[in-house]
Structure formats: C-alpha cells, structure tokens
Amino acid sequence: MRLTALIPALSPELVSSLDKCGVRTDSDLLFRPVVEVYLQLSSEDGISLLDLERAVELTAELASAPGIAGDELLAQETQAQEQAPTLFSGVGGLDNLLCGFGGCRVIEITGDKQSGKTTLALNVILRHLSEVSQARIAWIDTTGDFSVEHAAQILKTFNSEATSSALNRLQVSLAFDIEAAYNALEESQPLPATRLSCIVFDAITPLLGPLLSAVSAQGHSAMTEFMYHLRDFSRLHSCPILVINNTSLLVHHSKSASQIRKPALGPSFEFLTDATVWLSRCDEHAKFDNDHDFTVVSAKVLRSRTTAPKTDSMFKISKGKIFDL
C-alpha cells in the first residue's frame, strides 16, 4: 500500500518528505528502524522523532488486516449463504454431495475425457436459467468447444416460462489466455438489473497449465493469484463459480502400475478451490439399446470445505441430459 493512499490520516508534508528519502510504501516505513528513517529526513522539514513514531504506529494500524470475532464471521457467512443463488442438478444423490452447486464458493469439477464434466455443468446452469427468470450466467469457453446445439437440446427437456429466454441470458465469452479470462470476468460483473447467478470456466486447464513449469515458480504464482481472485469475486458478488479441470497422468515409479489419472494443475490446485468433485465413467453399467443408450457416471467428492468429503453418488447421462439412476 502506498503512503499517499493514507494521506488524510498522515500529513501530506510528512509523506512528501518521506518520499524524498525513498520511503514510499507502508512496508518501506514499517520494516526500517525508526531512527534510521529519522536520520535520513532533512532537518528543514521540521519533523520530530515523536511525529515520526506516531506516524509509524498509525501506518501499522491502517495497513493491518481488521480482526473479526468468530460469531460475527459466522453470522456474515450464514447470511451470505442465504443470499447466494442455489443451483441443483436435479439428481438427488448428486445434490446431496455438496448441498447443491450454489453458494459463494468455487467448485472444481474434474475427470477424464468424456466423463460428463461439461454436460454436468450445462445441466446445472440450464436448469437454473429455466427456473429463475432474472438469472444471468456467464460461460467462459477456453477451447472453442461450446456447443449451442447441446445446450438447446438440454433446454428442450425443461418446461417453464423462463425456458424460452434462457439462451438469451447465457453469456458465452472466449478466453484463450489468462489475461482474456480476467477481461471476461470484468465484463461479466453483475449489472443492476439482472443477477449474475454463476460463472463457469470450461476448462481452466488450458489457461493455467501452460504457465506451470518445473524451473520457475512464476506460473504457479500466477495460478494462485488467479484462483484467489476468483474466490474474492465469488464472495464479493455472492456468485458460485464452477471450474472444470482436466486430468493428467500420475507418474508411477514402478512400470507395471496401470495408468492412473489425477486432476491436472498439480497437487495444490485442490486447495485453491472450495470443493472438488471427481467424475468417472462406469462402463460396466452402460447400455446401448436402440432407444435408451446412456452412460453411467460416478461422482465422488475428493475434498470439500463445507460438507463431508469422500462421499459418492452415481447418475446417468442420456442424450446430453442427466438423470437419476
């Protein structure tokens, strides 16, 4: 934080004389011994050691994070939870896993290719769009694979008044790199008239994956910063964010081990989101009849901050729509 931002509390003359000595930010002022700074100040400015000490105390107070009592925090969180939009998939077991997909949290949906991640996200948001007529949802597409036909096909199965305008309220943005993703987030800021109910990132791996490297931590820092930004956005605007993540190979030392896949973007990505759901296809249950070909998918909660982890549920996908088993 710059000292000029604290000007009404600190005197402008003090700030400008500190600036002449090269002390511009709060960390510059707080992490140097007071006497050393005092000696560097020129005597014409007429600042006494006492003034400087008072200024340092004031800066420490203003620059520190405010403390909050536990019961206040609980009250705030419960209130935020009530105000936030609720999103459901329509399948009982799946909704019980995480108490729906709403709230002010960042939920990661991960799984192998063709395991139903995009389908699940589409079903959840289209159901919400057709139930709530004022809702607006932002879909950030990072691979160019968003299919309007798939969305229209799912919408046909919902029958309510808001269904006809659902596609109008689904905003699709293209973002092929992190900067475009930040821009897309800015563009989807809630407007006064409509309410932003959810943001979906499909998929986040092409945005953050190329940044990660074994020789430098810069990519990892950019990833962490982006995920913290998403978390702050979600808390500030009471808007759940669904993040779809792909998988990468788990490298085993023993060559005889079968190829196991794990969520991509490293082991720390799991901790940057509020909940992680792992989807995997159960091909042994799939049937391919003429009329009813469907695939069965199992959803397992790998980690969750607010609900019990390691619980799982199964659902089936038929023609792009999610059904209970």
Tell me which of 133, 153, 157, 163 binds other proteins, using CB under 8 A: 153
Smallest gap from Cβ 114 to other proteins, in A, equals 9
* Site for other proteins contains 60 (CB under 8 A): no
Q: Which of the ranges 39-47, 87-95, 135-143, 264-272 carries the binding residues for other proteins, by CB under 8 A? A: 135-143
Q: Looking at beta carbons only, is 146 or 269 nearer to other proteins?
A: 146
Determine, following the binding rule CB under 8 A, whether residue 169 of this chain makes contact with other proteins: yes
Write phi, then psi, for 59 (nearest 5 degrees).
-65, -40
Interacting residue with other proteins among 100, 104, 146, 297 (CB under 8 A)? 146
Q: Is 294 in the site for other proteins (CB under 8 A)?
A: no
> 23 Cβ partners below 8 Å, 6+ apart?
3, 29, 32, 37
- As measured in angstroms, the least distance from the Cβ of 295 to other proteins is 11
Q: DSSP for 266-308, please give it.
A: -TTGGGGSSEEEEEEE-GGG-EE-SS-EEEEEEEEEEEESSS-
Question: In this chain, which of 2, 252, 287, 292 binds other proteins, going by CB under 8 A?
Answer: 2
Token pair listed for 235: 């808390």
Count of residues that bind other proteins according to CB under 8 A: 48
Please, which of residues 212-271 interact with other proteins by CB under 8 A?
Answer: 222, 225-226, 229, 232-233, 236-237
| Binds other proteins by CB under 8 A, chosen from 101, 139, 278, 315 | 139
* 242 close to 199: Cβ distance less than 8 angstroms: yes
5 lines the binding site for other proteins (CB under 8 A): yes
Stretch that binds other proteins, among 24-32, 40-48, 275-283, 300-308 (CB under 8 A): 24-32
d(CA 208, CA 11): 44
Tell me if 151 contacts other proteins by CB under 8 A: yes
183 binds other proteins (CB under 8 A): yes
Instruction: Kindly report the three-state secondary structure assignment for every residue of 206-260.
Output: HHHHHHCCCCCCHHHHHHHHHHHHHHHHHHHHCCCEEEEECEEEECCCCCCCCCE
- Closest listed residue to residue 127, CA positions, set 99, 156, 147: 156
List C-alpha distances in Å: 154 to 123, 125, 151, 189, 240: 7, 11, 5, 26, 21
Rule CB under 8 A: say whether 170 interacts with other proteins.
yes
Residue closer to other proteins (CB basis): 27 or 307 = 27
Binding of other proteins at residue 161 (CB under 8 A)? no
Per DSSP, the three-state class of 121 is helix
The string of DSSP codes covering 129-183 is HHH-TTEEEEEEESSS---HHHHHHHHTT--SGGGGGTGGGEEEEE-SSHHHHHH
Joined together, the tokens standing for residue 205 give: 């791996």
CA-nearest of 237, 232, 207, 234 to 222 is: 207
Query: Taking the complex as a whole, how short is the minimal distance between the CB of residue 139 and other proteins, in angstroms?
Result: 7
Kindly tell me which residue out of 171, 248, 298, 318 binds other proteins, with binding defined by CB under 8 A.
Answer: 171
Residue 189 near other proteins by CB under 8 A: yes
Binding flag, residue 75, other proteins (CB under 8 A) = no
Stretch that binds other proteins, among 20-28, 36-44, 99-107, 270-278 (CB under 8 A): 20-28
Q: Contact positions toward other proteins, by CB under 8 A?
A: 1-3, 5, 24-26, 138-139, 143-153, 167-176, 178-180, 182-184, 186-189, 222, 225-226, 229, 232-233, 236-237
